[in-house]
Amino acid sequence: MGISFDGRVAIVTGAGTGLGRSHAMALAARGARVVINDMGTGADGTGASGDAARAVVDEITAAGGTAMAHGADIADEGQVADMVAQTMARWGRIDILVNNAGILRDKTFAKVTLEDFRKVIDVHLMGSAICAHACWPVMRAQGYGRIVFTSSGSGLYGNFGQANYGAAKAAMVGLMNVLHLEGMRDDIRVNTLAPTAATRMTQDLLPPEALPLLAPETITPGLLYLVSDDAPSRVILSAGAGTFAVTRITETQGVTLQGADNTPENVAAQFAQITDPSGAQDLPDAFSQTRKYAVNAAQLRGLDLPW
């Protein structure tokens, strides 16, 4: 077995069912000690039960693995702090954080209440940030950490009736980009998984024939790579039905307009060149964009910038 998690400790949120359960089971099968975090709510975030998390712990234990359950609400800082404290008290380290938990409250933007909009943001975005923030000092002290945020095609490309969910899932990419930069010194690698799977959140939206093809287990191998010792960082790995692809955010070469030429009419006139994908770049950080623009303008003016 090439990729092993012997000696590693992982927290997987939303691990009682679906993708989270699949990720947790696979991590445990390869030697990780796993915290099964799940509140046991419905897909809309209502209700609560510890049964699902305990059932996954029992499955892992029966297979010879090691796991513990914790029912923290990931949007609650105190409960997440308790989960991290209990993990450290039991195993002394946290190597892997898989932010998987989520809810759906789908409605068109015209009909969605701001309460439902905010709740989805709180669970997906704030919940992921709270868990990462609680694990961050542990990983920095260890000089090792692997964090995965879970995005979605709804966040990357859009999906009708999911403004709240899409906004939250798009935010995962921005959070990843910054934590990738801030974690480099301490070997904390941060990636985003963008899965499409047949789970309780999606099964009613899919044709029955597609359900077996889109099983969560077809996605988990990609997740395991993203949290392995040799993982990349700042990757958006899209996955479903055994297909793995990388989604990239790139910027075109663009057009520089200066002085009297910098008009909305010229933006319109040159929009085909502005949007030309030839030579598009994957910029490593925000300052790279600033530098690009300043250098382009300086060259047109015969200036020499110290970059």
User: Which residues carry out catalysis?
Assistant: 165
Supply angle C-alpha 60, 61, 63, rounded to 5: 65
Decide: 189 and 232 in contact? Cβ < 8 Å. yes
What are the start-end ranges of the E strands in 156-304? 188-195, 236-240, 243-247
Phi, psi for residue 288 in degrees, rounded to 5: -60, -35
Alpha-carbon distance values, 129 to 172, 175, 190, 257, 290 (Å): 9, 8, 12, 39, 27
Cα–Cα dist 120/165, whole Å:
6
Positive or negative torsion for Cα 286, 290, 295, 300: positive
Cα–Cα dist 150/120, whole Å:
14
Decide: 200 and 18 in contact? Cβ < 8 Å. yes
CA 120 to chain centre: 15
Token pair in block for residue 88: 């450290």
What are the start-end ranges of the E strands in 160-287? 188-195, 236-240, 243-247
Supply angle C-alpha 60, 150, 153, rounded to 5: 125
Cα–Cα dist 59/118, whole Å:
35
Decide: 178 and 222 in contact? Cβ < 8 Å. no
Tokens 């998984």 label which residue? 193
